[in-house]
Amino acid sequence: MKLQKGLFLLSIVAMALGHAATSQAAGMVPETSLLIINEADQGGSINIKNTDDKPELLYTNIVDLPDDKEGHLVVTQPVIRVEGGQTQHLRFILQTASPMKTEHLKRVTFEGIPQKMPGKNKVGFNIRQDIPVLIHPANLPVVKDAWTQLEWSASGNNVTVKNPSPYVVRLAPQIELLPGHVPALLKKSYILPGESITVAAKSSASGNNQVRFVPASRYGIQVESYNAPLNNH
């Protein structure tokens, strides 16, 4: 698991460095790495700071994931001017046809467009921040270890993970079958409620009875690696 954990740590460091570089390069910076939308509140909010010293137009765009389009989310101010060094409070409104039973995942981007200075032909560049959006149902208790509810099984070289819970589970894509230390790679870093994902391991899963993976908290922070039972057919 050292290789897989190393890769995950490198990815975390790379993302952190990228965020730091983005912040230093100025632009619109969200106050948190996750936007939480509570159905009970019919929406949510976030603060965005213009780290530049000049005014910019803040463009906010909500992006549906290809595998999760439920729940219509609207930002009340999709385009707004933010003065240099100032913070803008953005409000999001959730629209649903019926009460939600499971969590849902989207993404939101924040892009600062510098104002063109009169008489200058200088070419500027835009910096876009992209963070996940977690929509939480009104009648669903909050849990901090939803990854413990994942169900893992294997047949031959194939490894399947199923999420029977109503929660979105985030994790590093690298997994390892134990005790044989057989690596495999998931196709994405999240598993939606009710979703099953099957991937091919590097070799046969036979003789292995556990899966080791590195979960992430709701805010994408790495937690300790977790060993889950593996049902080997």
Which pLDDT value is given to residue 143? 95
- Read off the DSSP letter of residue 95: E
Q: What's the one-letter identity of residue 69?
A: K
Which pLDDT value is given to residue 21? 39
Task: Give the whole-angstrom CA distance, residue 134 versus residue 129.
Answer: 16
Which pLDDT value is given to residue 123? 53
Task: Give the whole-angstrom CA distance, residue 136 versus residue 40.
Answer: 8
Task: Give the whole-angstrom CA distance, residue 59 versus residue 65.
Answer: 19
Query: How confident is the prediction for the chain on average, in pLDDT?
Result: 89
Using an 8 Å Cβ cutoff, are 157 and 200 in contact? yes
pTM: 0.84
Residue-range domains of the chain with CATH? 29-116+124-136 (2.60.40.10), 143-232 (2.60.40.10)
> Which H or E run includes 201?
none
| Closest CA relative to residue 170, chosen from 107, 95, 83 | 107
Question: What are the structure tokens assigned to 142, written together?
Answer: 């909050």
Which pLDDT value is given to residue 124? 58
pLDDT tens figures, 156-189: 999 999 999 999 999 999 999 999 999 999 999 9
pLDDT tens figures, 115-142: 776 665 655 567 899 999 999 999 999 9
In percent, the amount of the chain with pLDDT more than 90 equals 78
Instruction: Give 21 or 229, the one with higher predicted confidence.
Output: 229
Instruction: Give 70 or 37, the one with higher predicted confidence.
Output: 37
Question: What are the structure tokens assigned to 158, written together?
Answer: 């194939």
Please give the average per-residue pLDDT across 17-37, as a whole number: 71
Instruction: Give 137 or 10, the one with higher predicted confidence.
Output: 137
pLDDT tens figures, 84-102: 999 999 999 999 999 999 9
Question: What are the structure tokens assigned to 66, written together?
Answer: 């290809």
Classify burial at 94, counting beta carbons within 10 Å of its beta carbon; exposed 0-12, middle 13-18, buried 19 or more.
buried
Instruction: Give 25 or 167, the one with higher predicted confidence.
Output: 167
pLDDT tens figures, 192-226: 999 999 999 999 999 999 999 999 998 889 899 99
Using an 8 Å Cβ cutoff, are 157 and 232 in contact? no
Place 13 in a pLDDT band, splitting at 50, 70 and 90. very low
> Which H or E run includes 203?
none
Has residue 54 got a pLDDT over 60? yes
Structure-derived torsion over alpha carbons of residues 215, 220, 222, 223, reported in degrees to the nearest 10: -60
